[in-house]
C-alpha cells in the first residue's frame, strides 16, 4: 500500500513540476493548475452503518480552454474500514482521471460538472480462503469506479481559488464464486456506491489562456445512433456482475435556453445464463428526461436527469412441483444520473459521449411456487455504471 501511495504522489509531483516549467519561462499565462484538498468518502463502519471517512490528497488540471479541462485527483483515506467480502476493508486510496466542465463562468466564481473514471483501492478486503481456520482471509483489491458530480470554485484572485465539490461514486465489485454443497456454485458481485465530498484550494502559476471568443452552436433538434456498455449486477445465481453491450438511438430537443428534452432507447441483446424474479434475459432500456448545459464553439457540456425503465424479457415467474421454470417480462423503474459531453466536428454533426449511474428500483413481483403465490420484494436500490457513445445530426 505504501509503495502504491508513494508511486501515485511521485507521479503527481512530476506533473506539477512539468506544469511549473512553462510558468518559469513565461509566467503571465498557463494552461495548468494544481491543488490540494480535504475529502470524505462514505463507507461501511464496524456496525455495518454508513460513516464518512476523512482523507487528503492532490489534484492536477490541464485546461483545454476556459471551460473544459482534463483533471486528475488522488486521495488517501488512512482510517481502517471494516473488511467486507470482496467490497472494502482497511485503508483506502482513490485515483480518478477525467473531465471537468464549467457550465457557469464569471470573474469571481464558476459552477462545474465532473466525469472522472478511476480506481478504488482497499488494503484489506475479505475473501474466501479454505486454508484459514475461519474460512476467510484479507488481501488488497482494486475496483473500477466512476466519479460523477459537480461543484463550485470561488476565485480569490486570478491565481488562487477555493473549491468545493460533491460526487456520487459507483464502483464495480467483481464476481466471487461461492461453492455450495453438491458441487454447484453461484456468483457474488455488485455495483456498490459511495458519496464523496471535497474542499480545497487551487493555484495557477499564471493567468488562464483564453484561446478564442465563445460562440453559440446552432440547432434545436438532434438525433442519431448509439452504442452502450453497461456494468450491471444480474439477479440470476450464476451471472453476477456482467458487462452488457447494447445499441440504440437518441433524440434531443432544446425547449428553453440551456434545457433540452433528451432520451435514449437501447437494446442489450445478450441473454442471461439464469433468471431471478425481476431480472433475466435480454434488456430493453428507455431513458426520457432532461439535460441541461451549454454549447460553445466546438463542444457542449451537460448534466442529465432521466427517468425511464429497464424491461427484462425472461424474469422468473413460476416453478412447478416438478421443478419446471416459467418466465415472463418484468419492467422496472430506473433513474439515470450523470453527464454528457458533445463535440461538433462540422456544421451539423455531433459526437456524443455519456457516462452515468443508472439507478434500478425493482418492484414487487409474485412468483408461483408449485401453486403457492409468493411475493418477491424488490430489495435495495441497484446501481449500474453505463458508458454511451454515438454520432448525431443537428438541425
Average pLDDT over residues 134-158: 94
Give domain status of residue 23, yes or no.
yes
**CA dihedral sign, ordered 121, 127, 132, 134:** positive
Last residue of a domain, one of 185, 208, 231: 208
pLDDT at 295: 92
Q: For residue 184, what pLDDT band results from cuts at 50, 70 and 90?
A: low
Average pLDDT over residues 161-171: 96
Instruction: Please answer whether residues 148 and 168 qualify as being in contact, where contact means their C-beta atoms are separated by less than 8 angstroms.
Output: yes
Give domain status of residue 63, yes or no.
yes
Query: 152 with 271, same domain?
Result: no
* Nearest-5° Cα angle at 32, 30 to 38: 140
Give domain status of residue 15, yes or no.
yes
Query: 138 with 282, same domain?
Result: no
pLDDT at 197: 96
Give domain status of residue 262, yes or no.
yes
Q: What is the CA radius of gyration of the chain?
A: 23
Strands 372-376, 32-44: parallel, antiparallel or unpaired by DSSP?
A: unpaired
Closest of 253, 250, 252 to residue 264, by C-alpha? 250
Give domain status of residue 188, yes or no.
yes
Q: For residue 129, what pLDDT band results from cuts at 50, 70 and 90?
A: confident
Range of the domain at 299: 221-394
Q: Is the pLDDT of residue 209 over 70?
A: no
**CA dihedral sign, ordered 154, 99, 193, 265:** positive
Residues 6 or more apart from 357 whose CB is under 8 A from it?
146, 148, 168, 170, 193, 336, 337, 338, 383, 384, 385, 386
Q: For residue 373, what pLDDT band results from cuts at 50, 70 and 90?
A: very high
Query: 152 with 200, same domain?
Result: yes
pLDDT at 8: 52
Query: 229 with 320, same domain?
Result: yes
Q: Is the pLDDT of residue 240 over 60?
A: yes
pLDDT at 292: 95
Number of folded domains that form the chain: 2
Q: For residue 19, what pLDDT band results from cuts at 50, 70 and 90?
A: very low
Distances (CA, A) of 361 to 79, 309, 332, 357, 368: 33, 9, 6, 13, 22
Query: 189 with 254, same domain?
Result: no
pTM above 0.85, yes or no: yes
Q: For residue 69, what pLDDT band results from cuts at 50, 70 and 90?
A: very high
Look up residue 130 and give its three cell numbers.
Answer: 479454505
pLDDT at 180: 65
Q: Is the pLDDT of residue 95 over 50?
A: yes
Query: 187 with 143, same domain?
Result: yes
Query: 343 with 301, same domain?
Result: yes
pLDDT at 23: 41
Give the other-Cβ count within 10 Å of 283's Cβ: 22
Query: 186 with 244, same domain?
Result: no
Q: For residue 12, what pLDDT band results from cuts at 50, 70 and 90?
A: very low
pLDDT at 132: 86
Q: How far apart, in whole angstroms, are the C-alpha atoms of residue 1 and residue 77? A: 12
Last residue of a domain, one of 208, 237, 260: 208
| 18-22, 114-118, 151-155, 170-174: segment of lowest average pLDDT | 18-22
Last residue of a domain, one of 176, 208, 240: 208
Give domain status of residue 329, yes or no.
yes
Give domain status of residue 160, yes or no.
yes
Query: 162 with 226, same domain?
Result: no
Average pLDDT over residues 69-78: 97
Give pLDDT tens digits for 20-31.
444 444 445 788
Q: Is the pLDDT of residue 13 over 80?
A: no
| 205-214, 266-275, 340-349: segment of lowest average pLDDT | 205-214
pLDDT exceeding 70 applies to what percent of the chain?
A: 90
Query: 240 with 301, same domain?
Result: yes
Contacts of the segment 180-185: beta carbons below 8 A, 24+ positions apart: 185/238
Q: Is the pLDDT of residue 2 over 50?
A: no
Return the CATH number at 294.
2.40.160.20
Closest of 83, 163, 93 to residue 128, by C-alpha? 83
Q: For residue 7, what pLDDT band results from cuts at 50, 70 and 90?
A: low
Closest of 225, 232, 205, 192 to residue 84, by C-alpha? 192
Q: Is the pLDDT of residue 384 over 80?
A: yes
pLDDT at 213: 77
Query: 194 with 127, same domain?
Result: yes
Give pLDDT tens digits for 248-263.
999 999 999 899 999 9
Q: For residue 282, what pLDDT band results from cuts at 50, 70 and 90?
A: very high
pLDDT averaged over the chain?
A: 89
Query: 149 with 200, same domain?
Result: yes
Give domain status of residue 374, yes or no.
yes
Amino acid at each position: 500500500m505504501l509503495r502504491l501511495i508513494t508511486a501515485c504522489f511521485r507521479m503527481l509531483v512530476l506533473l506539477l513540476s512539468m506544469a511549473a516549467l512553462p510558468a518559469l519561462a513565461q509566467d503571465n499565462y498557463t494552461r495548468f493548475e494544481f491543488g490540494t484538498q480535504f475529502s470524505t468518502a462514505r463507507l461501511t463502519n464496524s456496525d455495518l452503518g454508513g460513516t464518512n471517512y476523512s482523507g487528503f490528497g492532490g489534484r492536477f488540471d490541464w485546461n483545454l480552454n476556459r471551460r473544459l479541462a482534463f483533471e486528475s485527483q488522488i486521495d488517501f483515506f488512512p482510517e481502517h474500514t471494516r473488511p467486507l467480502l470482496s467490497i472494502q476493508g482497511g485503508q483506502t486510496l482513490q485515483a480518478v482521471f477525467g473531465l471537468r466542465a464549467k457550465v457557469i463562468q464569471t470573474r469571481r466564481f464558476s459552477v462545474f460538472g465532473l466525469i472522472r473514471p478511476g480506481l478504488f483501492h482497499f488494503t484489506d478486503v475479505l475473501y474466501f480462503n479454505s486454508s484459514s481456520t475461519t474460512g476467510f482471509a484479507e488481501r488488497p483489491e482494486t475496483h473500477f469506479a466512476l466519479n460523477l458530480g459537480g461543484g463550485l470554485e470561488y476565485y480569490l484572485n486570478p491565481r488562487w481559488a477555493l473549491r468545493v465539490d460533491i460526487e456520487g461514486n459507483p464502483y464495480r465489485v467483481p464476481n466471487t464464486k461461492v461453492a455450495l454443497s453438491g458441487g454447484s456454485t453461484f456468483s457474488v458481485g455488485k455495483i456498490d456506491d459511495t458519496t464523496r465530498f471535497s474542499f480545497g484550494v487551487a493555484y495557477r502559476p499564471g493567468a488562464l489562456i483564453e484561446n478564442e471568443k465563445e460562440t453559440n452552436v446552432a440547432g434545436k433538434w438532434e438525433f442519431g445512433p448509439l452504442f452502450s456498455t453497461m456494468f450491471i449486477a444480474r439477479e440470476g445465481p450464476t451471472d453476477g456482475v456482467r458487462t452488457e453491450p447494447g445499441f440504440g438511438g437518441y433524440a434531443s430537443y432544446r425547449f428553453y435556453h440551456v434545457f433540452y428534452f433528451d432520451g435514449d432507447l437501447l437494446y442489450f441483446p445478450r441473454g442471461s445464463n439464469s433468471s431471478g424474479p425481476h431480472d433475466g434475459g435480454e434488456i430493453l432500456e428507455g431513458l426520457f428526461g432532461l439535460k441541461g448545459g451549454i454549447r460553445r464553439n466546438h463542444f457542449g457540456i451537460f448534466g442529465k436527469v432521466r427517468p425511464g425503465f429497464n424491461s427484462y424479457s425472461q424474469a422468473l415467474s413460476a416453478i412447478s412441483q416438478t421443478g419446471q421454470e416459467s418466465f415472463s417480462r418484468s419492467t422496472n423503474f430506473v433513474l439515470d444520473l450523470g453527464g454528457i459531453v458533445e463535440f461538433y466536428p462540422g456544421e451539423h454533426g455531433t459526437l456524443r459521449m455519456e457516462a452515468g449511474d443508472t439507478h434500478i428500483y425493482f418492484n414487487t413481483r409474485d412468483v408461483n411456487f408449485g401453486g403457492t403465490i409468493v411475493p418477491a420484494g424488490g430489495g435495495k436500490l441497484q446501481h449500474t455504471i453505463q458508458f454511451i457513445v454515438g454520432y448525431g445530426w443537428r438541425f
